[in-house]
């Protein structure tokens, strides 16, 4: 019988590995992990706490306090700090109480320019910046950009510590990153993690290729910096994915390259212009890829070219599949908005297409993104996503209201999860009431859904193909 030497047996491998690990000193193990102490010492002084206040009218004061447009945000993507958290409360009672909120920001120049999130200062009458040396100063709003959720502030000070914006395109998935901010008002809290993904598209923002991380981010971190190991800012913490309102390991930051472009435009012009192509696009499924002669299910299929758009002037056609923009490969359709939106109007873009099974390239003179994108596109209303019940609704079309003899309601244009799936709701159904409340508009149903109670039966009246039907459901979160 052949006897295997002990050190070659599988069990021996485990024993030897255990002995080696136990022999390693704690210092040896720690040396394998990054040391953030020097980074924090150098960077923390440039991170600030931002508090805002705004006057609310007597009618609003009688209700729960929230920021403007809070009820229009999907529950599942909660903007950090000011979105329905207990820190938002009136400073005083009376006919004109003050609503206060807190957030984070950071200094980007020694003469007092600061960067934060737009939603941190949205609707504020007064913005107070608290520096690391305990000085407090009132800030001027230089400009803001709701589409990227960024705001540029200015305080009257000089010789300030400041942070450098890095090239976020160099950031790699798996790389260590660190955040400094004021979660729940705890100033200069430090959390760390890794980059989970890049180029993420969220329902709430179309033109930002978000950096996804697993850094612990909570209410109050909003607007704070995300660092690489060199102490450079690679992102601005902006959103979280949550079902509970707190950290769940999915945090999203605005890339520093996006911030660099926005800051430059806000400083020079006070507003931000974005590139516009003028097409409606959709994802390429495997079946569509085969039908269009593509090697793989990638790219952006042009479903419509808008009249008077740069795309139409350049000769783009419905049925073209966009495969690249200025040499950047397009895998998902959302990437087109990322790359085009980052361009300056009047800039020439080289668009790679597949048309009739052939690869072609077309130069397009990029236009300026209109303020009202849906109107400019001539596209159907994109509607509002109601994450609590898993559907998207839009205004009731006049022709449907007339054909079905409905005087009020909103149309379902997407039903993809949760309650919507359980009830069997379908695109094209019309919601006429919820919780026994008559529905008159998209804005109204957004507000009602945000206030629906948990663990109670809620009625929903829909009209399908002209026939009314009542159903009921319960919300567990």
Q: Which of 119, 251, 309, 433 is catalytic?
A: 119
Tell me which of 46-50, 78-82, 109-113, 446-450 is least confident: 78-82
pLDDT at 68 > cutoff 70: no
Task: Residue 250: count other Cβ atoms within 10 Å of its Cβ.
Answer: 17
Asked if domains 44-154 and 381-473 share a fold, the reply is: no
From the candidates 71, 75, 149, 429, which is the catalytic residue? 149
Whether 222 sits among the annotated catalytic residues: the reply is yes
Fold assignment, 168-267: Thrombin, subunit H (2.40.10)
Query: Number of helices (H) and strands (E), helices first, in the chain?
Result: 13, 30
Q: What is the pLDDT of residues 105-117, one digit of tens each?
A: 999 999 999 999 9
Going through 256-366 in order, the beta strands assigned E by DSSP cover 275-276, 279-283, 300-305, 321-325, 328-329, 348-355, 358-365
% of the chain surpassing 90 pLDDT = 43
Cα(64)–Cα(48) distance, integer angstroms: 28
Give the phi and the psi of residue 474 in degrees, each rounded to 5: -130, 145
* Predicted local distance difference test score (pLDDT) of residue 93: 52
Q: Which of 104, 144, 189, 222 is catalytic?
A: 222
Ordered by start, the domain boundaries in the chain are: 44-154, 168-267, 275-374, 381-473
- Answer yes or no: pTM beyond 0.75: no
Q: Give the mean pLDDT of 213-223.
A: 92
Residue 373 CA to residue 346 CA, distance in Å, equals 18
CB atoms within 10 A of CB 80: 28
First to last CA, the chain: 65
- CA-nearest of 317, 325, 334, 322 to 359 is 322
Task: Band the pLDDT of 65: cuts 50, 70, 90.
Answer: very low
According to the model, what pLDDT value does residue 229 have? Answer: 95
| Rounded average pLDDT over 343-354 | 93
Distance CA 41, CA 10 (A): 47
Residue corresponding to tokens 């599988």:
10
Over residues 245-259, the pLDDT tens digits come to: 667 788 999 999 999
The residue whose two tokens read 């919601």 is: 431
The dotted CATH code for 381-473 is 2.30.42.10
Please report the pLDDT score of residue 31 as a whole number: 56
Mean pLDDT, to the nearest integer, of 217-230? Answer: 93
Q: Is residue 25's pLDDT more than 60?
A: no
Closest CA to 58 of 96, 23, 84, 29: 96
311 φ, ψ (degrees, to nearest 5): -65, -40
Residue 322 three-state SS: strand
Query: What per-residue confidence (pLDDT) applies to 400?
Result: 85
Res 244: pLDDT = 64
Q: How far apart (Å, rounded) are the C-alpha atoms in residues 78 and 62?
A: 24
Q: Under CATH, which number does the domain 44-154 receive?
A: 2.40.10.10
pLDDT tens digits for range 207-217: 899 999 999 99
Assign 402 a pLDDT band (cuts: 50, 70, 90): confident
Catalytic residue flag (residue 101): no
Return d(Cα 459, Cα 472) in angstroms, integer: 4
Query: What is the pLDDT, as a whole number, of residue 185?
Result: 84
Running DSSP on this structure, what letter comes out for residue 339? H
pLDDT band at 3 (very low <50, low <70, confident <90, very high): very low
Q: What is the pLDDT of residues 284-343, one digit of tens each?
A: 888 888 888 888 899 999 888 888 899 999 999 988 999 999 999 999 888 998 999 889
Q: 71 catalytic, yes or no?
A: no
Q: Please name every residue paired with 415 in a beta bridge, in sequence order, or none if there are none.
A: 391
Q: How far apart are CA 404 and CA 464, in angstroms?
A: 9
pLDDT in tens, 410-435: 999 888 778 888 888 988 899 999 98
Q: Which residue has the tokens 């002037």?
A: 313
Give the pLDDT confidence of 75-132 residue by residue, as tens digits. Answer: 434 443 333 333 444 445 555 555 566 899 999 999 999 999 998 998 888 999 999 9
Does the 275-374 domain belong in CATH 2.30.42.10? Answer: yes
Collapsed DSSP state (helix, strand, coil) of residue 87: coil
If pLDDT is split at 50, 70 and 90, which confidence band does 18 have? low
DSSP state at residue 371: S
Which residue, among 426, 411, 418, 427, has the nearest Cα to 452 in the 3D structure?
Answer: 418
């Amino acid at each position: 019988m052949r006897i295997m030497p002990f050190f070659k047996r599988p069990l021996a491998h485990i024993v030897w590995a255990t002995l080696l690990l136990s022999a390693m000193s704690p210092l040896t193990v720690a040396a394998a992990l990054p040391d953030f102490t020097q980074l924090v010492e150098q960077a923390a002084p440039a991170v600030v706490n931002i508090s805002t206040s705004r006057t609310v009218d007597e009618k609003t004061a009688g209700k729960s306090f929230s920021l403007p447009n809070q009820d229009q945000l999907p529950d599942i993507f909660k903007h950090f700090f000011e979105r329905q958290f207990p820190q938002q409360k009136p400073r005083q009672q009376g006919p004109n109480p003050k609503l206060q909120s807190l957030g984070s920001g950071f200094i980007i120049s020694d003469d007092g320019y600061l960067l934060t999130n737009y939603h941190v200062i949205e609707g504020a009458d007064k913005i107070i910046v608290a520096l690391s040396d305990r000085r407090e100063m009132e800030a001027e709003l230089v400009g803001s950009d709701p589409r990227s959720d960024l705001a540029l502030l200015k305080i009257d000070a000089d010789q300030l510590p400041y942070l450098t914006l890095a090239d976020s395109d160099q950031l790699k998935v798996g790389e260590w990153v660190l955040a400094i901010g004021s979660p729940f008002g705890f100033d200069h809290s430090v959390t760390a993690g890794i980059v989970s993904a890049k180029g993420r598209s969220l329902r709430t923002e179309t033109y930002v290729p978000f950096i996804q991380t697993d850094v612990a981010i909570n209410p109050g971190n909003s607007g704070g910096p995300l660092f690489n190991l060199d102490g450079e800012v690679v992102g601005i913490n902006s959103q979280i994915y949550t079902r509970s309102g707190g950290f769940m390991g999915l945090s999203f930051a605005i890339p520093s390259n996006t911030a660099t472009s926005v800051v430059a435009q806000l400083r020079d012009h006070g507003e931000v212009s974005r590139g516009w192509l003028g097409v409606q696009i959709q994802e390429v499924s495997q079946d569509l890829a085969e039908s269009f002669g593509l090697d793989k299910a990638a790219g952006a299929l042009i479903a419509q070219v808008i009249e008077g758009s740069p795309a139409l002037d350049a000769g783009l056609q419905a049925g073209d599949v966009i495969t690249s923009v200025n040499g950047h490969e397009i895998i998902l359709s959302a990437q087109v908005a990322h790359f085009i939106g980052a361009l300056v109007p009047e800039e020439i873009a080289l668009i790679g297409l597949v048309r009739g099974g052939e690869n072609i390239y077309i130069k397009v003179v990029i236009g300026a993104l209109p303020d009202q994108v849906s109107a400019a596109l001539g596209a159907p209303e994109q509607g509002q996503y109601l994450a609590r019940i898993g559907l998207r609704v839009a205004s009731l079309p006049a022709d449907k209201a007339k054909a079905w003899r409905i005087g009020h309601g909103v149309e379902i244009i997407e039903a993809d999860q949760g309650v919507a799936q359980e009830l069997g709701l379908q695109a094209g159904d019309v919601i006429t009431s919820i919780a026994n409340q008559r529905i008159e508009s998209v804005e109204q149903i957004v507000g009602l859904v945000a206030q629906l109670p948990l663990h109670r039966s809620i009625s929903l009246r829909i009209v399908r193909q002209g026939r009314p039907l009542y159903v009921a459901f319960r919300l567990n979160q």
